[in-house]
Structure 1
Amino acid sequence: MPPPVSIIIVSWNALPLLQRCLPSVVATRYEPLEIILADNASTDGSAAWVHRTFPSVKIVRHPENWAFCRGNNAALPHASGEYVVLLNNDVEVPPDWLAPLVAAMEADPSVGAAQPKLLQYDRRDHFEYAGGAGGYLDRFGYPFTRGRVFFSLEKDEGQYDDERDVFWATGAALLLRRRALDAVGLLDERFFMHMEEIDLCWRLWRQGWRVRIVPRSVVYHIGGGSLPRSDTRKAYYNFRNNLLLLYKNLPPRAWRRIFPRRALLDALAAARALLAGRPAEAAAIARAYRDAHRMKDAYRDARPERCRTGPYYRGSIVLDYFLRGRRRFRDLPPACFFHPDEAAPPLRPPPAPHEG
């Protein structure tokens, strides 16, 4: 008998999205399957609609809007599955999307997390921003995916259909082994939203688990359901949480080596926003640095002395994209990718997330 799976969908005042996407989740061909709606105190009647329309869906009602991290964490004790899927409320799934993910996890007990290939809901032959075909970090901690580098989204032509280890898997559709999650801990609620899944995947790698992309499974993501790209809070959380991600997971020596160059690149990003007539975005980056500095003491005692990491990019994705014109993942030089299972890194590797 297949292992039981629980799907958790956090939602807040998103009735139109639930009406569009939840029917496809309920139609998933997999047993035994449990679907949980974690309702963040919605006032639009969405929980009542789900209860009437899909009585098999378990509803967990939170007393207030706990956003993505706490909303998922508070729902997890209600999940009975051996595997747990964190699924955004704006993701449509085909009937057979779940079985390949579970099969990949069952085939290798060292895999702690896996994601499907994410394509756009409205343009289904193009990769979606949030996860593409699996995520990486560059040497300075900037995230990107196979199929999406910054704002360049590739057409899906099967170029990334190989199943492989990746640094991080998207929180939009993330299958987690419950045993691995119990070992490394839940989502970091101090992140509130954005980058929390990268932090979780890094913690999995640090404790010996692996993270995979399983392109045989495909889902379709609307995107922008929590914060639209134009909202300066998105820039704030992305910059703040990325700094916390690095400070938390890097050994102190590597952090001291990387941070000055990272700060310079972020200063250039703020200057670029100002020149483009987006002063609010530049101010959001400045606030992100201020608040990350204030928050970092909470992680000081738990920082690793040495750090294992997943596959990462030794180069700078910022310089590659903006100076060298490398707009696609496949344009990046293969020799610049490091996998922890390689026999040995270069004799003098550049500063990177695995250093210690």
Structure 2
Amino acid sequence: MSRLPKVAVVILNWNGRFFLEKFLPSVYNSSYPNIEFIIGDNASDDDSILFVRQYYPTITILQNDKNYGFAGGYNKILERVEADYYVLLNSDVEVSQNWIEPVVEYLERTPTIAAAQPKILSFHDKQKFEHAGAAGGYLDYFGFPFCKGRMLHVVEDDLGQYDQESEIFWASGAALFIRAEAWKEAGGLDEDFFAHMEEIDLCWRLKKMGYGIGYCPASVVYHVGGGTLNASNPKKTYLNFRNNMVMLQKNLPFIKAIWVIFFRLWFDLAALIKFLIDGKPKDAWAISRAHQYFFLNIFKNARKRRKYHTIENKKGYYNNSIIIDFYANNKHKFSQLNPKDFK
């Protein structure tokens, strides 16, 4: 009988006692046999680690010396983890008992796929997809991410319409399965991102290395979403706009990056004006600060551009504008997009 791959489920924690108490039981009851549960702690100052030690003494606890954010925190923790597959799991995710088996089976029979995600539904409304990942992530021509089941702010009901395994552009960091070897080969997450879009950047690098990214609907998890920063938080606005620009600079071909970023600046200006009209000056200022960071660090991020000796896997790339489709063409569902516009 062949060896069952070892899976390390790693939950990054920072002052998350509430979420650990609520959702750790479902994770701990996972049925997959060759598994290690790990809490990676970003120097919490609440009693979350005491809680885990008291009620889950068999869970491994690995602690960082300070809060390195999502990206840096996972990098530091996974340096100390030995497994065939890592599962980066948010603390605000409820899982079913057999959520691991389908994804591992999918990865085992599809060696070209480096990372994958399950179907991600909303914890608060389990008939709806969840914003952060839904049924798999895609990227449009101007670098705007969207999902099957979630177009911008419009989220669909899960009616089984996206129940087919498929290659996607990016897998959500809320429940990210990744081969340990691929993680190491890609260099993990970009720590300068701190949080938000770091998993898209990682998936893009993997695709430039020739790997595929997959979606496995046979596995289902339920995500609260916004557990660290809610949707209207100016810090989240800053990180999303900043990291998106950096990601484009790092991963697009040089000439294309110049003019795509040029057009993105105009899209971002429109978003800034809308925030001002809506009475959200802090979010508008967050966009301005994101642009300031981008230009002040343009040479630093230019040094992160890597040369690849394989053909980029472009599955999941949308050769059109999701913004124009959404607002001008009234296309609010993934199924309304033209399949011919996808790579």
Q: Same fold (TM over 0.5)?
A: yes
Which segment drifts farther, 317-326 or 198-207? 317-326
The amino acid of 1:320's aligned partner reads: D
Equivalent position SS for 1:112: strand
Match of residue 121 from structure 1: 123
Provide the aligned length of Structure 1 versus Structure 2.
338
Equivalent position SS for 2:216: strand
Q: How does 1:1-356 map to 2 (within 5 A)?
A: 1-304=3-306, 308=312, 309-338=314-343
After TM superposition, the runs of 4+ consecutive aligned structure 1 residues lying more than 4 A away are 304-307
Equivalent position SS for 2:320: coil
Give the Cα–Cα distance (whole angstroms) in 2 for the partners of residues 326 and 252 of structure 1. Answer: 31
The amino acid of 1:332's aligned partner reads: L
Give the Cα–Cα distance (whole angstroms) in 2 for the partners of residues 106 and 217 of structure 1. Answer: 15
Equivalent position SS for 1:3: coil
Q: Is the 8 A contact 1:86 1:175 kept in 2?
A: yes
Give the Cα–Cα distance (whole angstroms) in 1 for the partners of residues 91 and 175 of structure 2. Answer: 10
Give the Cα–Cα distance (whole angstroms) in 2 for the partners of residues 296 and 184 of structure 1. Answer: 21
Equivalent position SS for 1:35: strand
Q: TM-score with structure 2 length normalisation?
A: 0.96
1:283-312 Cα distance to aligned partner (Å, 9 max, x none)? 111110110111221232342568723421
Give the Cα–Cα distance (whole angstroms) in 1 for the partners of residues 47 and 117 of structure 2. Answer: 31
RMSD across aligned C-alpha pairs, in angstroms? 1.2
Equivalent position SS for 1:78: coil
Gaps of 5+ in 1: 339-356
The amino acid of 1:331's aligned partner reads: Q
1:154-181 Cα distance to aligned partner (Å, 9 max, x none)? 0000111110100000000000001111
The amino acid of 2:331's aligned partner reads: R
Give the Cα–Cα distance (whole angstroms) in 1 for the partners of residues 10 and 117 of structure 2. Answer: 15
1:250-276 Cα distance to aligned partner (Å, 9 max, x none)? 111111221221111111111111111
Identical aligned residues as a percent: 42
Which segment drifts farther, 325-334 or 28-37? 325-334
Which segment drifts farther, 275-284 or 192-201? 275-284
Gaps of 5+ in 2: none
1:73-114 Cα distance to aligned partner (Å, 9 max, x none)? 111022221100000000010000000000010001111000
